[in-house]
Amino acid sequence: MKKSLPALLLALCLLVPVPVRAAQEGVPARQRTYAGEFSDLTADSPFYNNVAALYEYGLAGGKDDGTFGLGDAVTLGQAVIFAGRIRGLCSSGDPEAALAYRHETTPAALAYLRYLQAETGLELEMESYTEFYRPATRAQVAHVLVNTLPDLPDVNGELVTQGYASRRYITDVTEYTPYYQDILALYRKGVAAGSDASGSFLPNEPITRGAVAAMLTRMVDPALRVRPQWDLTGLSSAEGATLADLVEPGRYILSPSNHEELDSSIRYMLASGENRILLYYDNLSNQEVQRLIGEMLDIVKSYCEQGYNEVHCVRGAGLLTISFTAVGAGDQVEALRTAAMEAAVKVHDQLWAQGTLRPDMSELEKARVYYQWVCENCAYDYEAGDDSLSHTPYSLLVNRLAVCDGYTGAYNLFLKLEGIDCSAFFMGNHIWTVATLDGVEYHIDTTWGDTGGETDFRFFAMPPQQSQALHAQRAA
């Protein structure tokens, strides 16, 4: 940084020093009362309370024409001076503590910058002092303020994390935005709430004196901090979801001619909330019908979260009526499927409500949470026969007892409630999950992960080749 440039002429009418005493509990005392000193500030003006407070704290005076200039731009130098005065006010009760760093041949803002650097280690990238003259962007001010803030609590931490991570709010700020972490910190600490209903920060826009007054006074006075009025309804609740909602709809084909068409027809049935489908074939032998039924059962079991694992067929004049049910469920299959879904939704919502699941988590992290939950909340049913309900997700979610297809069905149900693409994979008499997490395919075996003691994470997020090798080794 060059040091031979002429001193910066800032609008020091903003900064009328008034002796200030530190108030109790870390909140500075206001030393005067605002009584209409600014002709452009009325009770219905934007940031009225903030500008009035800024005046009462002795942090700003008016312009020569008697106005405050709510919409006027603030230079980077002025922003640094404001931040230095706030730091002095909050740390020692002296808003002009930075003047100890003042030299006659250097810009006034440089004294405050040096003070902030000594106090907080603030780093401000500048090629020369001339940048002090330029209008500050809102992102630059966020960086300066966050790095000079007193130790403020994250009063909006969870709200901002969810709103931002869901991309519902503050959508004009991304990881590529300069000082984006500092911007988000202002929201979390109640210093910023955004410029519109979607919480936009406008990071590259020049900041106005009104906006600076708002941020500064919120730093000083907890009563002035703000909570964004954001609607996050439904963000962390799966209430009202149905099993049919979890299936990518397929196209109904009366006479499927290959596996893909058969899968599409079954998805059409499942997404319609049905358990029966009609197919038509002119001249199928009994052997071909059996092969077709077996293939359809395998497809349905690949969507094991749906709770169907048994198939029945009625044949007549080329028409096949295929019905799906669950072993051991009898005529209660739909009631059990509904109960399983309700239980899964309850677990889902509890994990979100307690913060175990958060919008900022990756799909891999969410899948790991559910993996651990299943392993910790279920026992393997060593007594289960072929007609046991332990082969269904219902048994795991309600009875907390299951075998591999019950484990996999319940786990896949959780993943699909998060919008994660997954299906079931078979090898011999064992079944486990294949899921696409953050664009990468993994194999996940919750049955093997449940050791009856500590959850075994060796079987979570296995690469496909490793998984198939392990399963083949155990099956041998």
Contact assessment for residue 404 and residue 296, using Cβ atoms and an 8 Å cutoff: no
Contact assessment for residue 340 and residue 307, using Cβ atoms and an 8 Å cutoff: yes
pLDDT grade for 439, boundaries at 50, 70 and 90:
very high
Who contacts 291 (Cβ-Cβ below 8 Å, separation ≥6)?
none
What is the pLDDT at residue 360? 78
Q: Are residues 357 and 442 in the same domain?
A: yes
The length of the chain in residues reads 476
**What is the distance between the alpha carbons of residues 12 and 64, in angstroms, rounded to a whole number?**
10
Q: Quick count: other Cβ atoms within 10 Å of Cβ 32?
A: 12
Q: Are residues 68 and 184 in the same domain?
A: yes
Residue-wise pLDDT tens digits, 278-294: 999 998 999 999 999 99
Residue 208 lies in a domain: yes
Alpha carbon of residue 39 to chain centroid:
44
Residue 235 lies in a domain: no
75: three-class secondary structure by DSSP: strand
Contact assessment for residue 84 and residue 58, using Cβ atoms and an 8 Å cutoff: no
Residue-wise pLDDT tens digits, 15-63: 333 333 333 345 778 889 999 999 999 999 989 999 999 999 888 888 8
Q: Are residues 24 and 158 in the same domain?
A: yes
Contact assessment for residue 2 and residue 129, using Cβ atoms and an 8 Å cutoff: yes
325, 341, 360 — which closes off a domain?
A: 325
Q: Are residues 276 and 174 in the same domain?
A: no
Who contacts 159 (Cβ-Cβ below 8 Å, separation ≥6)?
227, 228, 230, 232
Residue 234 lies in a domain: no
CA angle 150–21–212, rounded 5-degree value: 45
Residue-wise pLDDT tens digits, 76-131: 999 999 889 888 888 888 888 988 888 877 788 999 999 999 999 998 888 888 89
CA nearest neighbour of 353 among 185, 235, 246, 241 = 235
Q: Are residues 319 and 334 in the same domain?
A: no
Q: Are residues 75 and 139 in the same domain?
A: yes
Q: Are residues 70 and 142 in the same domain?
A: yes
Residue-wise pLDDT tens digits, 443-460: 999 999 998 889 999 999
In DSSP terms, which residues pair with 427 in a beta bridge? Answer: 430
Residue-wise pLDDT tens digits, 169-211: 999 999 899 999 999 999 999 999 999 999 999 999 999 999 9
Alpha carbon of residue 46 to chain centroid:
31
Residue 19 lies in a domain: yes
**What is the distance between the alpha carbons of residues 109 and 84, in angstroms, rounded to a whole number?**
9
Buried b (16+ CB within 10 A) or exposed e, 151-167: ebeebbeebbbbbbeee
Alpha carbon of residue 175 to chain centroid:
14
Domain count for the chain, please give it.
3
pLDDT grade for 325, boundaries at 50, 70 and 90:
very high
Which CA distances in Å does 63 have to 26, 37, 206, 412? 30, 10, 19, 65
What is the pLDDT at residue 234? 66
The DSSP secondary-structure symbol of 39 reads: T
**What is the distance between the alpha carbons of residues 123 and 454, in angstroms, rounded to a whole number?**
46
Q: Are residues 461 and 365 in the same domain?
A: yes
**What is the distance between the alpha carbons of residues 423 and 416, in angstroms, rounded to a whole number?**
9
Q: Quick count: other Cβ atoms within 10 Å of Cβ 328?
A: 21
Q: Beta strands of 289-378 (E only): which ranges? A: 310-316, 319-325
Does 10 have pLDDT greater than 70? Answer: no
| CATH number, domain containing residue 457 | 3.10.620
Two structure tokens written together for 11: 């609008």
Does 263 have pLDDT greater than 80? Answer: yes
224, 257, 274 — which closes off a domain?
A: 224
Alpha carbon of residue 322 to chain centroid:
42
What is the pLDDT at residue 124? 86
Which CA distances in Å does 314 have to 59, 122, 284? 85, 77, 13
Contact assessment for residue 409 and residue 393, using Cβ atoms and an 8 Å cutoff: yes
What pTM was computed for the model?
A: 0.59
Residue 254 lies in a domain: yes
CA nearest neighbour of 161 among 185, 178, 197 = 185
Residue 229 lies in a domain: no
What is the pLDDT at residue 196? 94
Residue-wise pLDDT tens digits, 356-384: 998 778 999 999 999 999 999 999 999 99
What is the pLDDT at residue 86? 83
Two structure tokens written together for 42: 């009325």
Q: Are residues 300 and 429 in the same domain?
A: no
Q: Which of 134-143, 163-172, 329-338, 413-422 has the lowest mean pLDDT?
A: 163-172
Q: What are the backbone dihedrals phi and psi of residue 397, each rounded to the nearest 5 degrees, phi first?
A: -75, -30
348: three-class secondary structure by DSSP: helix
Task: Please give the torsion angle defined by the CA atoms of residues 90, 96, 97 and 100, in that order, rounded to the nearest 10 degrees.
Answer: 170
325, 358, 391 — which closes off a domain?
A: 325
Does 232 have pLDDT greater than 90? Answer: no
Place of tokens 């799966």: 238
**What is the distance between the alpha carbons of residues 453 and 465, in angstroms, rounded to a whole number?**
27
The DSSP secondary-structure symbol of 6 reads: P
Residue 238 lies in a domain: no
Order across the sheet with 310-316: list the strands.
276-280, 319-325, 310-316
Q: Are residues 50 and 79 in the same domain?
A: yes
The DSSP secondary-structure symbol of 132 reads: G
Two structure tokens written together for 167: 């991309």
What is the pLDDT at residue 335? 97
pLDDT grade for 274, boundaries at 50, 70 and 90:
very high
In DSSP terms, which residues pair with 440 in a beta bridge? Answer: 437
Largest CA distance in the chain: 103
Q: Are residues 71 and 192 in the same domain?
A: yes
Residue-wise pLDDT tens digits, 335-355: 999 999 999 999 999 998 888
CA nearest neighbour of 126 among 5, 279, 250 = 5
What is the pLDDT at residue 166? 75
Q: What are the backbone dihedrals phi and psi of residue 206, each rounded to the nearest 5 degrees, phi first?
A: -65, 145
Q: Are residues 203 and 274 in the same domain?
A: no
Residue 2 lies in a domain: no
Does 8 have pLDDT greater than 60? Answer: no
- List the domain range (segments joined by +) for residue 197: 12-224
Contact assessment for residue 215 and residue 139, using Cβ atoms and an 8 Å cutoff: no
Does 158 have pLDDT greater than 90? Answer: no
| CATH number, domain containing residue 295 | 3.30.110
